[in-house]
């Protein structure tokens, strides 16, 4: 057993900061090739109050969103292996999952272990939030109309678990809990940028709800910016 793994085993992981002058960066984008799948329009008719929140606008499912620049949104990119075992500090900031118009915003969310997750209900209806985690403790709780938020902290890494609502079957989202800060979820430009990465060899994984998981390996040296691209579809 190495000294580092011994410390890890007794819960005394190093808290020494990573030298910011000696780190690198991994950045790139998640591309999508081929015809863009059309997402179904959500049928809110079983709940007119949900429908009213959208002011007659059509809302589509968010399983696959191809951005105008040909990239794929809602893809988690994270360092799956190679991150040094240490106590990575959890940010004090809260990450929020909002129920608005009977859909979850955002559709894919990532946060660190032990980081505060707020689950808000901005709707005039009840939701039942079912956190379908299996590594962490799962839960199923009612949230009242515009009621008090629920707060959760997940202590173990879990990439990822679904969130659903037992009242509105079309509602679903995904939550990734990661034990270090090197992750990103692609947005409207499909890019990701993992900063402050300690020098080392990594497995970078992309995870998408429909298209699944892909891995790439990369070596990062101090001050180096590594570019990489993931590709799905086609």
What residue ranges bind Cu ion (CB under 5 A)?
A: 127, 165, 167-168, 171
CA atoms within 13 A on the CB side of 55: 0
Distance CA 159, CA 136 (A): 11
- Give the helix/strand (H/E) hosting 193: strand 191-197
* Tokens representing residue 13 in the block: 């992981």
Pairing mode, if any, of strands 24-33 and 191-197?
antiparallel
Closer by beta carbon to Cu ion, 44 or else 230: 44
Shortest distance in whole angstroms from residue 103 CB to Cu ion: 9
Closer by beta carbon to Cu ion, 171 or else 173: 171
Distance CA 101, CA 95 (A): 19
Shortest distance in whole angstroms from residue 232 CB to Cu ion: 29
CA distances 95 to 102, 106, 110, 216, 224, Å, are 19, 10, 8, 28, 30
Closer by beta carbon to Cu ion, 171 or else 206: 171
Distance CA 82, CA 202 (A): 5
Shortest distance in whole angstroms from residue 50 CB to Cu ion: 8
Closer by beta carbon to Cu ion, 49 or else 219: 49
Closer by beta carbon to Cu ion, 102 or else 220: 102
Pairing mode, if any, of strands 172-178 and 108-112?
parallel
Q: Which of 207, 234, 221, 167 is nearest to 74 (CA)?
A: 207
Shortest distance in whole angstroms from residue 127 CB to Cu ion: 3
Q: Is 20 helix (H, G, I), strand (E, B) or coil?
A: helix
Closer by beta carbon to Cu ion, 59 or else 76: 59
- Which residue's Cβ lies closest to Cu ion? 165
Shortest distance in whole angstroms from residue 143 CB to Cu ion: 8
Shortest distance in whole angstroms from residue 44 CB to Cu ion: 11
* Beta carbons within 8 Å of 2's beta carbon, 6+ residues apart: none
């Amino acid at each position: 057993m190495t000294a580092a793994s011994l410390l890890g085993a007794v819960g005394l992981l190093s808290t020494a900061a990573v030298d910011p002058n000696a780190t690198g960066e991994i950045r790139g984008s998640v591309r999508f090739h081929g015809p863009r799948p059309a997402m179904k329009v959500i049928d809110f008719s079983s709940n007119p109050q949900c429908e009213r929140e959208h002011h007659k606008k059509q809302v589509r499912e968010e399983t696959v969103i191809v951005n105008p620049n040909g990239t794929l949104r809602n893809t988690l990119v994270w360092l799956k292996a190679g991150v040094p075992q240490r106590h990575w500090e959890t940010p004090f900031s809260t990450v929020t999952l909002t129920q608005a118009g009977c859909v979850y915003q955002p559709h894919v969310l990532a946060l660190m272990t032990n980081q505060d997750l707020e689950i808000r209900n901005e709707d005039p209806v009840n939701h039942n939030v079912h956190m379908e985690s299996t590594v962490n403790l799962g839960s199923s709780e009612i949230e009242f109309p515009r009621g008090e938020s629920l707060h959760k902290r997940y202590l173990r890494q879990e990439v990822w678990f679904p969130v659903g609502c037992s009242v509105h079957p079309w509602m679903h989202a995904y939550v990734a809990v990661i034990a270090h800060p090197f992750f990103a979820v692609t947005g409207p430009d499909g890019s990701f940028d993992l900063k402050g990465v300690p020098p080392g060899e990594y497995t970078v994984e992309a995870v998408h709800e429909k298209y699944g998981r892909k891995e790439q390996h990369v070596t990062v040296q101090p001050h180096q910016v590594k570019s990489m691209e993931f590709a799905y579809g086609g």
